[in-house]
C-alpha cells in the first residue's frame, strides 16, 4: 500500500462517503484533476471503505431484517399448515394460496435486497493482477 499524506487520507474518506469531486476540491483546496488521479490511485482503498461501511449498515439493520424474516417464515409455516388442514368444502383455499404466494414474495424480496459485494484488484506475488469479488452473506 502506498504512503498517503493526510490530505490524501481525508480524500479517501470523503470519496468513500460519496462526496462529489467538486465538494472535496473546495474542502481540501486541491484541483479536481488531482482528485481524479487520486481516485484512480486509491480506488481499492475507497472501495474497501465503502464495503466496510455497507457491512456496518448491514449489521445495524440485520436484527430488524432478521426479525421480519423470521416472522414471515413463521407466518408461512402457519399458512402451509392451514392449507394442509383446510376443509376444502368450507375454507376458501384460493385466499390461503394467495396469502402464501404473497408471503413467499416478501421473503424473496428480503433475500435479494441484502447482498453486499465489493470488487478489489490485487497483484499477487507473481505480479499478476487479480480481480477479486468479495460477497457478504448472512448465515
User: What's the pLDDT tens digit per position in 36-59?
Assistant: 999 999 999 999 998 888 888 877
Please give the helix or strand (H or E) that residue 135 lies within, else none: strand 129-136
pTM of the model: 0.47
How far apart CA 18 and CA 29 sit, in angstroms, is 18
Are 98 and 82 contacting, i.e. CB atoms less than 8 angstroms apart? no
User: What's the pLDDT tens digit per position in 75-88?
Assistant: 888 888 887 787 66
Could you tell me the mean pLDDT of each successive run of 10 residues in the chain, 139 residues long? 84 93 94 94 91 82 76 85 74 77 82 62 71 57
**Quick one: pLDDT at residue 132?**
65
Amino acid at each position: 500500500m502506498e504512503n498517503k499524506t493526510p490530505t490524501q487520507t481525508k480524500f479517501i474518506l470523503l470519496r468513500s462517503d460519496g462526496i462529489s469531486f467538486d465538494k472535496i476540491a473546495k474542502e481540501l483546496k486541491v484541483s479536481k484533476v488531482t482528485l481524479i488521479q487520486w481516485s484512480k490511485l486509491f480506488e481499492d482503498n475507497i472501495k474497501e471503505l465503502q464495503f466496510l461501511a455497507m457491512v456496518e449498515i448491514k449489521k445495524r439493520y440485520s436484527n430488524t431484517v432478521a426479525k421480519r424474516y423470521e416472522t414471515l417464515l413463521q407466518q408461512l409455516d402457519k399458512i402451509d399448515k392451514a392449507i394442509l388442514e383446510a376443509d376444502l368444502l368450507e375454507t376458501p383455499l384460493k385466499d390461503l394460496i394467495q396469502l402464501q404466494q404473497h408471503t413467499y414474495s416478501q421473503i424473496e424480496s428480503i433475500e435479494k435486497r441484502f447482498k453486499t459485494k465489493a470488487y478489489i484488484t490485487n497483484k499477487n506475488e507473481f505480479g499478476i493482477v487479480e480481480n477479486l469479488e468479495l460477497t457478504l452473506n448472512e448465515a
